[in-house]
Chains A and B, each alone.
Chain A
């Protein structure tokens, strides 16, 4: 006689019903059962710090760096430009820049799904897959890059552009030049990214872009009155040294933060950044000692910045030994760019935006193609691909910057009057002066 099975209890029936309902449920319900990616606290904390460091590079890094190099009568105007650019670019980034630069869309420009940062919710994640960093932090980190890139350009046309023109130029340039190039290189669907161009932290997007735009600006606006005939003595190189020190420290967030996570690659990026800066400071110093007979304080920090620029595209791809090579080459290359090349061409790139950022960026981008090590970044570099990326950026940045300059010149006029230039931008444009 078979054993008599007891009748199931009500709770048992409910459990069985729940079990079988899993198999009968539609696919959407199954997906709901998979836990959503959760924010990673460690990565997010590092990215918050890195973002602050990158912002510190402009406010007050670039402001001090540039402010100390201009003549006394233009100090406030030059420093104000960095602050104003930070404000203007932030607004443009919020309105449309972030969406066009960093969101999926076409090969050449991003989508419009984040206009005025709409759709950027508290829980949205972005950046490196698996790092699980909030999109708000990612957008802010990228904004700090857009700010410093635009703030580097005025170094080329310092002491002669109207403040109103600068505001308009910053808005248009960050939108029409920076955002597309950032999309090409950093958004996975961008056409340069798909062709394998390596730019870890912005050698192409930031430094070549800003350097070439600066050079076009300097040529378009023309030299300062007295350039090549009068000594244009810097106001206070101590400010420049302080600014450069902030840049150097902030660059750790710039390069190591570009890992978009607190991981071993971020650590390696930080180490190679420091080594390249040190190598370039020494090589620039040696070149200057040899050529000029003594090592200048400005040369020392310029060399460090040159190394930082050059290692920027390579920082997540190269070994420490390669970083030393990149820094050594960049120090000498940028020294020649800021002295010999400048004297040969006669262009009044006032604070050497192209001589350092343009030349350093190109040196770094090309050397990344040669020195990228698979054991660091998981990819091998290709010199010709890097060259194509550099050429595309130089061509687009140069041409579109020219278009922006023509537009701004037509709307508000670019250059201050001769009288204003003699009197100084501080007094005429801002009604203030340093003591």
Chain B
């Protein structure tokens, strides 16, 4: 994983471009802290149709190693009831959807 300064540099540029091109506000601190949120923003940035934004998203994906945890998480089995509940509702707790239209 890259250093914080490199990652924050990328996050800041993505934040600005997302705001200019998509009118979407991102939370830089939360992207750094939560890989799920960062992955979703990277996905949106890649699909925004802006070459510079897509390139930055690709660099961030490598810098934060966003691809690795997805595979690791997919291998985790959910043997218990609570784990099955959690895995059955991934979108309900996803950071990009968690706070849309409702706080709680």
Contacts and interface: CB of A to CB of B under 8 A. Distances in A.
Interface stretch (B46-54, B57-65, B91-99): B91-99
Nearest to A284: B104
B96 A339 contact: no
Contacts of B90: 293
A219 to B, nearest CB: 16
A53 B52 CA distance: 55
A343 B103 contact: no
Contact of B101 (A227, A292, A293, A294): A227
Given A231-B95, A231-B97, A289-B82, A339 B24 contact: no
Contacts of B96: 231
Interface residues of A, number: 31
A293 B89 contact: yes
Contact of A69 (B27, B92, B103): B103
B102 A298 contact: no
A72 B27 CA distance: 9
A355 interface: yes
A230 B25 contact: yes
A234 B99 contact: yes
A203 B24 CA distance: 40
A417 to B, nearest CB: 17
Given A230-B24, A231-B95, A233-B30, A343 B86 contact: no
B53 to A, nearest CB: 18
Interface in B64-96: 82, 85-90, 92-93, 95-96
Interface in A201-232: 226-232
Contacts of A426: none
Given A69-B103, A338-B104, A291 B92 contact: yes
A339 B95 contact: no
A343 B87 CA distance: 23
Contacts of A110: none
Interface of A: 69, 72, 226-234, 289-294, 296, 298-299, 302, 335, 338-339, 342-343, 346, 350-352, 355
5 contacts: A69-B103, A293-B86, A293-B87, A294-B86, A298-B104
> 6 closest pairs, A vs B, by CB?
A293-B86, A293-B89, A228-B101, A231-B99, A338-B104, A292-B92
